[in-house]
Structure 1
Amino acid sequence: MGNKILKFLIVLIFLGVCGFVVYQQLFSRAPKPDSALQPQGKPQTAQTAKPAQTSQETVHISFYQSKGKDDWVNEVIPEFNNGNYTVDGKKIVVEMYPVRSGDSMQAILDGKIQPTIWNPASAAWFDMINYTWKVRHGKALISSSQPLVITALVIGMWEPMAKALGYPDKELGWSDLMAITTNPQGWAAYNHPEWGAFKFGHSHPDFSNSALLSVISLVYAAAGKTSGLTMEDFSRSEVINEMHAIEQSIVHYGDSSTWLMEKFVHNGPSYLSALTLYENTVVEANTKYPDKAFPVVAIYPKEGTFWSDHPFAIPDADWVSPEQRKAAEVFREFLLAEPQQKRLMKYGYRPAIANIPLESPIDRAHGVNPEVKPMNVLETPSEDITKRIQELWHQTKKKSTVYLLIDTSGSMKGEPMKQANKGAEVFVKQMEQDDQLQVLTFGQGIFELSQFGYVRDVGEPLIEKIQGLYGEGKTPLYDAVKYALQTIEQHKAAQKEPRLYGIVVLSDGKDTSSRTTKQELLALLPRNPELAPDVTKIFTIAYGDDADVDTLKEISLYSNAMMYTGTLENIETVYVSISSYF
């Protein structure tokens, strides 16, 4: 009898284990939400308003939208998700992922995301992705789209400076920026010697939609065209020279025009005279930052500009089911309905529906001109022309001198060191061939990994040295930063052309062995970095849980840069983001 009971229990346990295994297999195959990367490489989760609890079946659609109009999207999506919007009797749930246009395009090409809806800032990204998609798959990924919101690419300028150039009575544009940029007297030629040189800013066109359109606009202006750019235009001396002249007035680049705008309004006209941004961002600058030095006004380039329409597209891909396509169309009609379109205006955007009259804050009081209509619109160039423009920008951009500092102390042993090495290698590969670079390690001491030189000469040897780094010793953080600062100052004296100067520091702990004190180091940093266009900007990476976050943040803020939080998972993305500032 006992044996029978024992056998019964064994069979029961076996069946239970089998049931558990089957459950796990089924569960693990359940569809998982898409993921993307935010700046600094943090995992991006869908920003979804939870719909009211219901037993109704649902259909989920992923909405990858360009960062910038988050306030509006975050306002209307909860209303949609909590409303009675269905397809084939199933409730529609929208999962929203804010991501930069360039990042989302690359993530789609890499197979990292499969959006139901792709909503970049302009249709130019469709042309670029379709070019590659056709090569790989024999067809376009995006065949149709619908404008969602409207905003113009403008030159944002402090109102007194714009008035010195003739605003608002005179039409202004790229030719006026060219005139002051190339004038050795700078603002003195306009009866304002106290303003010094003209200082310009735009973000990195490989990362930022506004920056890409800015560079394309400049090429059109230099070529004297509004459409029909050809390869021959890029060999014209006036196109090359004007691009080079404007780029030499750049204070620094960056992966986000939003971050650059915040620096612009916080640091005032001594930091930047003007920058390219969208019309809605001018409205934001004048409403969100009341304590700024002066009002910011929008200059609509007389040579023509782009009107960004944030197109809504459903990819022609097999990952979008017929049911999801229908659901996406329902969501699109919701966004284009008059109540949602009217709400756009409080965030500085123009409605995509033409018959809706413009209201405040799209007015002169907030720095923009509602009477300017989408006329004299620049033609979106073909994919091959756009790539050639990007090449020209890389050739003419302001070059950089950078010291890369890597913590090789004992606490970096193992996987932290391995991943940090991979990130540093990526950073070196992102640099231009004419950039100057040195890599310092600090652990057992402070060591230069090679001769200081141009990336074209030292890049490959540095990568080889980086791959062999390991963790051992203490953390002379302050000594390393001091050494890099003083050495860069020596290089500045020998330069024959304007350059961007920077230090990138990765550290996973507090300083444990420097002769230099923290206060001595901070005393070497500029008190007013916005006044010096060639100030050495120090970008810091707090790597891991034990990093001295407060000190690293303080060092970066003193130099008008920023601190990043690095992890084993995101460190490569962090390094790519920092490279965009150079």
Structure 2
Amino acid sequence: MAPAPTRTRQWLPYTAAVTAGLLVIAGTFAFVRQRDAGGRPRADCTISLEVNSSTEKAALLVELAERYNGSGRSLDGGGCARVHVSALTSGKAAEELAAGWGGTGLPKPQVWLPTSSLWTGQLRRLDQAAGRAPQTPDRYPSIANSPLVIAMPQPKGDLVRQRGPLGWGEILGLSGRAGWADFGKPEWGRFTFGKDNPNLSTSGLAATIATYYAAVNRSSDLTRSDLANPAVTQFVRRIEANVSHYSDDVVDLLRDLAEADLVGRGSSRDDMSAIVMQEELVYLYNEGRLSPRQDGQEQGRRPSVPLVAVHPREGTFNLDHPFVVLPSADERQRAAAADFLAFLTDDVQQESFARLGFRNHERRASAQLLASVGTEPTGGLTYFEPPDPQVVEAMLGGWSTLRKKANILIVLDTSGSMEAAVGNRTRLQVASAAAGKGLALLNAEDRVGLWSFSSETPQRPTGPYREEVRLGDFDQKRINSRTAALRAGGGTALYATVRAAHQYVLDRYDPQRINAVVVLTDGKNEYSRDNDLARLLADVELDPRRPVKVFCIAFDRESDFATLDRIAKASSGKAFDATDPARIDEAFVKLVSSF
């Protein structure tokens, strides 16, 4: 991602990496997909219209473009257009448009379809900072909508709804340590929730904005002075204190929840009572679209325990999927864009959006959607207005001081295979450098420790793992120094080390922090003294009362990713696939964004 020529911080997903100076990984978060829209072109279709869509709706837009190209539509004045769709995350597209669209390898678009008008505001800010005419000066029509909701397993959601209309603070700040006991359900334990990191996700950013609006009890005109108000920051801090952990992609959380539901565990073994996300994902989850699929099935089984959408009293943020015609469009392309917009907002195409859980372009929900996710409040939803882009910039700049802090033990594989070459460096050198870059994104108030592990060696004669830096106040300089001094040798005592590291953090559990073990390994368990995977999975299984989650990075193709994934899931953590060593930087940044 090319940084803007200003000192102000850019947002989402590239934001975190660029702000920390991780230029080497700046483009790695973009999920780029380009497919020919297909259709049989007519001879008079001489107008080409390039459309760039956000990734979550790109497959549908490709399908609709194909339908448009084969529809036989004609433009006023004669001729017809052929639409081609490519895909890029909204944040990456905004920055590429600001930089002249030279680094994607994709056709320069005349129409942009981001997830939210937050992005048109961000692009306008970048243009203004560069002293050029803004590319997105207006408000734009929507092709679909999806409000932000608090999704909860149905028994919990129904119980919360019985209390009547509750606000963001009353739900997400639910009762502090008393948790569900205040609702007559002490067996449900503490209330914690999941949300996407606002530096990585549009919905995570929208959730953060929504809590600020709730704090000031307004639905528009959020100001910088509001952000500095101690009462406002305390409100936001109280909500963030109940976060289980931050996600780089809420869909992964939902897939894990669906898998647990399939085998009968449901949400009872997880520590999360709710997830803040867009309404469409609640629908897709409940319809089985995010459940494990059997061969030949288009979707999985519907979950036994569906989610319900709880709507906070103050209102919510809407992801409005604007249709943006860019200045790069000439007169005929503008006519084609207007015709394509009319096509997308026609009832037939709107039904296609509805089948994916979207509300229509006028924010109306289908009966099928409401039957799946739950009815909305009497009188409909209240929507927050997008804040000024400068206010959002300041909000993200201050969020790191308000987010929940972490208690993290980094466990680094130093077995002999880490001496293998990756280019002109060893695996250990590559992994150590990636760890240093990723840890640069942590907060100074986080607590971090470092272990190394392999098996017993002359340098480590008494056991397979060793404490390099004691878990305590984050001292990145010391951690970097210790990782640089590590030497590879021995086998891979994966199970024994994960078990011991998990117990170590559990013994030092801090209820005010996210407690986690981060394991980086390039191999599989090679330690005959401890090769019982079933016992390890039982030992690290999440205790919702004292959750310690294991996050794993599978480094290089020799890693046993499937086993690391099982270990992570047992603890409600996550495994990151860096079996291609080129992805190690990306994996570390995504992992660190969970804290």
Normalising by the residue count of structure 1, what TM-score does the alignment of the two structures yield? 0.80
State the Cα distance separating 1:534 from its structure 2 match.
Answer: 3.7
Q: Against the structure 1 CA distance between its residues 396 and 41, is the aligned structure 2 distance closer, same or farther, given a 3 Å change threshold?
A: closer
Correspondence for 1:112 among 103, 118, 127 = 103
CA distance in 2, matches of 1:519, 1:285: 30
Q: Against the structure 1 CA distance between its residues 448 and 234, is the aligned structure 2 distance closer, same or farther, given a 3 Å change threshold?
A: same
More helix by share: 1
Is the contact between residue 40 and residue 574 of structure 1 (CA under 8 Å) also seen in structure 2? Answer: no
Question: What is aligned with 1:380?
Answer: 386
Matched residue SS, 1:395: helix
State the Cα distance separating 1:532 from its structure 2 match.
Answer: 1.5
Spell out, residue by residue over 1:198-244, the C-alpha distance to the aligned partner (whole angstroms, 9 max, x if none): 22221111111112111111111122222222333234333222222
User: Which segment drifts farther, 365-374 or 506-515?
Assistant: 365-374
Pairing 1:282–2:273 present: no
Pairing 1:344–2:374 present: no
Question: What is aligned with 2:215?
Answer: 222
Greater radius of gyration (CA): 1
Pairing 1:459–2:476 present: yes
Pairing 1:92–2:87 present: no
Correspondence for 1:439 among 432, 442, 450 = 450
Corresponding letter in the other structure for 2:214: A
Kindly report which structure 2 residues correspond to 1:18-97, keeping only aligned pairs within 5 A, or say none. 44-52=32-40, 63-70=51-58, 72-84=60-72, 92-97=82-87
User: Which segment drifts farther, 382-391 or 80-89?
Assistant: 80-89
User: Which segment drifts farther, 416-425 or 294-303?
Assistant: 416-425
Is the contact between residue 297 and residue 368 of structure 1 (CA under 8 Å) also seen in structure 2? Answer: no
Q: Against the structure 1 CA distance between its residues 434 and 103, is the aligned structure 2 distance closer, same or farther, given a 3 Å change threshold?
A: farther
Give the alignment's Cα RMSD to 1 decimal. Answer: 3.5
State the Cα distance separating 1:506 from its structure 2 match.
Answer: 2.3
Correspondence for 2:584 among 566, 571, 574 = 571
Question: What is aligned with 1:548?
Answer: 560
Matched residue SS, 1:554: helix
State the Cα distance separating 1:402 from its structure 2 match.
Answer: 1.6
Corresponding letter in the other structure for 1:159: Q
Is the contact between residue 135 and residue 327 of structure 2 (CA under 8 Å) also seen in structure 1? Answer: yes
Question: What is aligned with 2:540?
Answer: 526
Spell out, residue by residue over 1:482-507, the C-alpha distance to the aligned partner (whole angstroms, 9 max, x if none): 34223212322xx4x42112222222
State the Cα distance separating 1:330 from its structure 2 match.
Answer: 4.6
Spell out, residue by residue over 1:61-96, the C-alpha distance to the aligned partner (whole angstroms, 9 max, x if none): 554433433563354233235555789968624133
CA distance in 2, matches of 1:81, 1:300: 39
CA distance in 1, matches of 2:340, 2:479: 51
Corresponding letter in the other structure for 1:498: Q
Matched residue SS, 1:565: strand
Spell out, residue by residue over 1:537-567, the C-alpha distance to the aligned partner (whole angstroms, 9 max, x if none): 2222222222223322221221122222211
User: Which segment drifts farther, 125-134 or 441-450?
Assistant: 441-450
Unaligned runs of 5+ in 2: 1-24, 292-300
Q: Against the structure 1 CA distance between its residues 425 and 122, is the aligned structure 2 distance closer, same or farther, given a 3 Å change threshold?
A: same
Correspondence for 2:434 among 423, 429, 449 = 423
CA distance in 2, matches of 1:108, 1:38: 16
State the Cα distance separating 1:280 from its structure 2 match.
Answer: 2.1
CA distance in 2, matches of 1:437, 1:204: 20
Question: What is aligned with 2:311?
Answer: 300
Kindly report which structure 2 residues correspond to 1:254-273, keeping only aligned pairs within 5 A, or say none. 254-264=247-257, 266=261, 267-268=266-267, 271=270, 272-273=272-273
CA distance in 2, matches of 1:64, 1:38: 20
Is the contact between residue 507 and residue 547 of structure 1 (CA under 8 Å) also seen in structure 2? Answer: yes
User: Which segment drifts farther, 65-74 or 82-91?
Assistant: 82-91
User: Which segment drifts farther, 334-343 or 436-445?
Assistant: 436-445
Pairing 1:485–2:496 present: no
CA distance in 2, matches of 1:86, 1:539: 54
Pairing 1:516–2:525 present: no
Spell out, residue by residue over 1:143-175, the C-alpha distance to the aligned partner (whole angstroms, 9 max, x if none): 3433110121122223333333344x8323224
Q: Against the structure 1 CA distance between its residues 441 and 371, is the aligned structure 2 distance closer, same or farther, given a 3 Å change threshold?
A: same
Is the contact between residue 428 and residue 463 of structure 1 (CA under 8 Å) also seen in structure 2? Answer: no
Corresponding letter in the other structure for 1:72: L
Is the contact between residue 309 and residue 373 of structure 2 (CA under 8 Å) also seen in structure 1? Answer: no
Kindly report which structure 2 residues correspond to 1:96-175, keeping only aligned pairs within 5 A, or say none. 96-97=86-87, 99=89, 101-106=90-95, 112-113=103-104, 115-116=108-109, 117-144=111-138, 145-167=140-162, 170-175=164-169
Question: What is aligned with 1:18?
Answer: none
The number of equivalent residue pairs is 531
Q: Against the structure 1 CA distance between its residues 93 and 525, is the aligned structure 2 distance closer, same or farther, given a 3 Å change threshold?
A: farther
Question: What is aligned with 1:561?
Answer: 573
The percentage of aligned residue pairs carrying the same residue is 24
Corresponding letter in the other structure for 2:497: A
State the Cα distance separating 1:345 from its structure 2 match.
Answer: 1.6
Correspondence for 2:369 among 353, 359, 362 = 362
Matched residue SS, 1:253: strand
State the Cα distance separating 1:372 from its structure 2 match.
Answer: 5.3
State the Cα distance separating 1:268 from its structure 2 match.
Answer: 1.9
Is the contact between residue 476 and residue 511 of structure 1 (CA under 8 Å) also seen in structure 2? Answer: yes
Kindly report which structure 2 residues correspond to 1:303-322, keeping only aligned pairs within 5 A, or say none. 303-316=314-327
Q: Against the structure 1 CA distance between its residues 573 and 175, is the aligned structure 2 distance closer, same or farther, given a 3 Å change threshold?
A: closer
Question: What is aligned with 2:13?
Answer: none
Corresponding letter in the other structure for 1:197: R
Is the contact between residue 401 and residue 500 of structure 1 (CA under 8 Å) also seen in structure 2? Answer: yes
Spell out, residue by residue over 1:377-405, the C-alpha distance to the aligned partner (whole angstroms, 9 max, x if none): 21211122212322443222211122223
Matched residue SS, 1:411: helix
Spell out, residue by residue over 1:290-320, the C-alpha distance to the aligned partner (whole angstroms, 9 max, x if none): 6535443222222122222111224446xx7
CA distance in 1, matches of 2:409, 2:394: 30
Q: Against the structure 1 CA distance between its residues 473 and 60, is the aligned structure 2 distance closer, same or farther, given a 3 Å change threshold?
A: farther
State the Cα distance separating 1:257 from its structure 2 match.
Answer: 2.4
Corresponding letter in the other structure for 2:184: N
Q: Against the structure 1 CA distance between its residues 108 and 78, is the aligned structure 2 distance closer, same or farther, given a 3 Å change threshold?
A: same
Pairing 1:411–2:417 present: yes
Corresponding letter in the other structure for 2:150: I
